[in-house]
Amino acid sequence: MLGVTRAQVPKLYQQGLGLVAKGDHEAAEQVFRSLLVVAPEVAEIHYQLARIAKSGGDAPAAIAHLEQALALKPKETALWELAAEIHGLAGDTDRAVAAFDAMIKLAPAALKPKVEKAHFLQTAGDFETSERLFRRLLKQNPYEGELYRLFLASKKVTPSDPLVAAMVKALKHPRMSEAGKMHLNFAMAKVMEDNGEPAKAFAFLDRANALQQKSFPRDAEASERERVGVLAAQAHGLDRQIEARGTPTPIFVTGMPRSGTTLVERIIASHSLVEAGGETGHAMKLAYQNFGVGEKIRQLRDIPDDALARYAAQYRRSLRGVTHKDALYVTDKSIRSEYVFGFVHAALPDARVIVVHRDPRDIALSIYKNYFKDGTHRYANDLRDIAETIHAFHQSVALWKDRLPGMIHEVQYEDLVTDPEPQARALIAAAGLDWEDACLEFHKVKGTVKTLSFQQVRQPIHKGRAEAWRKCETELKPFTDAWEALTT
């Protein structure tokens, strides 16, 4: 783009933002680079180029642009937030922590950056430092219910711990909001469970889930219409595949939440050629962005090859954005990927698909006892809704096994933890890779784990993770009754 004047900078800047929103990062980068020629002192331009470089997995370029932006605006919190994110993705814990410290210095009274630092260290496996920070924050902010839940996700405490007395007091305090009570009830349930009192744990869980459900009710009929409509749109056109172009090769690892997908991802990502992408959500998000949302999504058979190629290119770029630009294989353990396997099959013929199954009772228990981001998994607040959702997932997987035989490799969680090596070898083969012994030593790999399983995956595989439901058989009766009605 030649001949840009300073007067054009505001308009072209907005044009660049629009291109980013559309997913056309290459065109957006050209626009922002042209702006640097006439306005190199504008930190926002460097910031946008840093974001674009990050989305393409080019961490060095992202950091270079970010450092220029910070030199111009060292007191801009948004720049430090991006720095923490980029350094965290790059595995540079020290620089990520330094970015959090910069945010804290800019706003010493703000709670958010302090909590994010403690939580980041928790996900990075530095539980000792994280605990010190959380305990200090809880002492200063005893009525912030979410702090208790975040901290106790990686910490077991006994009923005699002073923290528990503080939690009981906070639950009764008039300053506690309903959201705070919801988080605190989840935290109290964790304490009861850790100390072998499932009945007491469920009393807190029932209150926590009821509070969240009150604010974020579920429309079961709308959810099912969406699932059925999206799957129906992919009923025809499955005999067509475009040519696979570029890297990385995606390895989908999907299942219900809490089914063992993080464990499976870590096994595969311990291979020297693979990087863990985590729960990107991009396959479904980009399908909706390109082809239509929910029931209004376009029929696969009507989508031209160039549109499928654009979808594939955007998706591969999204994977590089959570790893780096030279990644060869990237795992994607997003929930609900099974909605769009037809689009994946057509647009990404090199993709591998692994589906993880687990005893539905263990899945139900783990979903019900864990907090999910408000509004995301609305079925999680009711045991009967959980049964319906697991059953719908099984129906979706069965449909794809019928439509695309041989596409899906299935693994049973209980078999994996009982006899790991043959199951792990089968996983690596299904991913199209040669076996490496490191794949059974995933717990030794450093790095952040941004899922509810961040503590478990730092331990070797063991059988204790199976059949947890037996300790809560009575409390789970609403689920088991609903499950029996659905499956008989």
- Write out the DSSP string of 2-57: ----GGGHHHHHHHHHHHHHHT-HHHHHHHHHHHHHH-TT-HHHHHHHHHHHHHTT
Taking alpha carbons only, the member of 343, 336, 397, 391 closest to residue 363 is 391
Strand partners, 270: none
Q: What angle do CA 308, 311, 315 make, to 5 degrees?
A: 140
**Mean pLDDT across 380-399:** 98
pLDDT at 422 exceeding the cut of 60: yes
Distance from C-alpha of 323 to C-alpha of 90, rounded to nearest angstrom: 8
Amino acid at 138: L
* 413-434: average pLDDT: 96
Residue 179 — pLDDT band, cuts 50, 70, 90? very high
**Domain residue limits, the chain:** 1-107, 111-215, 222-487
Mean pLDDT along residues 317-341 = 94
**1-107, superfamily in CATH?**
Tetratricopeptide repeat domain (1.25.40.10)
Residue 449 has pLDDT above 70, yes or no: no
Q: What is the CATH number that goes with domain 111-215?
A: 1.25.40
Residue 204 pLDDT greater than 50, yes or no: yes
Distance of CA 3 to the CA centre of its chain: 43
Total-model pTM: 0.89
Contacts of 447 (CB under 8 A, 6+ apart): 91, 124, 276
DSSP summary character for residue 299 = P
- Alpha-helical runs (H) found in 274-376: 282-291, 305-321, 341-347, 360-368
**Residue 160: strand, helix, or coil:** coil
Q: What is the pLDDT of residues 17-28, one digit of tens each?
A: 999 988 889 999
Closest residue by Cα to residue 87 from 72, 105, 66, 118:
66
Q: Which two tokens stand for residue 227?
A: 């699932």
Residue 39 φ/ψ, nearest 5 degrees: -140, 60
Q: Is the pLDDT of residue 448 over 60?
A: no
pLDDT band (50, 70, 90) for residue 463 = low
Residue 450 is predicted with a pLDDT of: 46
Sheet of strand 249-255: strand arrangement: 274-276, 329-332, 249-255, 352-357, 408-412
Q: What is the rounded average pLDDT of the residues 337-355?
A: 98
Rounded Cα gap, residues 348 and 313, in angstroms: 9
Q: Is residue 456's pLDDT more than 70?
A: no
pLDDT digits (tens, 9 = 90+) for 260-308: 999 999 999 999 999 999 999 999 999 999 999 999 999 999 999 999 9
What is the average pLDDT across 113-129?
A: 95
Radius of gyration in angstroms for the set of CA atoms belonging to the chain, rounded to a whole number: 24
Q: Which two tokens stand for residue 5?
A: 């004047």
Q: Report whether 450 contacts 153 (CB < 8 A).
A: no
CATH class (in words) of the domain with range 222-487: alpha beta
Q: Please, are residues 446 and 352 in contact by the beta-carbon 8 Å criterion?
A: no
Residue 454: the pLDDT is: 46
Is a pLDDT exceeding 60 seen at residue 369? yes
Enumerate the β-bridge partners of residue 353.
252, 408
Cα 90 from Cα 321, distance rounded (Å): 11
Crossing angle for the helix pair 145-152 and 178-194, nearest 10 degrees?
Answer: 30
**pLDDT higher than threshold 80 for residue 452:** no
Q: Please say whether the beta carbons of 447 and 177 come within 8 A.
A: no
Question: Do 1-107 and 222-487 come out as alike in CATH topology?
Answer: no
Tokens found for residue 69: 């932006």
Q: State the pLDDT confidence band at 465, using cuts at 50, 70 and 90.
A: low
**What are the pLDDT digits (tens) for 52-98?**
999 888 999 999 999 999 999 999 999 999 999 999 988 899 999 99
Query: Is 462 in contact with 417 (CB distance < 8 Å)?
Result: yes
